[in-house]
Amino acid sequence: MQTERTARLEPLRRRLAELELDALLVTGAANVRYLSGFTGSLAYLVIGPEAAE
């Protein structure tokens, strides 16, 4: 079963591969919250080409 978070991250990972990028740095608090569910006030999110295990 695909979680909401996975459904949001997988298209980004596919796009990273298409553009041959190693990672995406997400800096906006609203964007970090949308993609990860983290609700802290100061955060950065690094999205790589593969899901963490």
Q: Is residue 38 part of a domain?
A: yes
Q: Residue 1: is its pLDDT beyond 80? A: no
Residue 53 banded pLDDT, cuts 50, 70, 90: low
Say how far apart CA 30 and CA 19 lie, in whole Å. 24
Residue 52 banded pLDDT, cuts 50, 70, 90: low
Q: Is residue 20 part of a domain?
A: yes
Instruction: Give the global pTM.
Output: 0.79
Q: Is residue 53 part of a domain?
A: no
Domain, as residue range, for 35:
4-47
| Residue the block writes with tokens 């190693």 | 22
Q: Residue 2: is its pLDDT beyond 80? A: no
- The number of folded domains in the chain is 1
Q: Is residue 27 part of a domain?
A: yes
**Which residues have a Cβ under 8 Å from the Cβ of 27 and sit 6 or more positions away?**
44
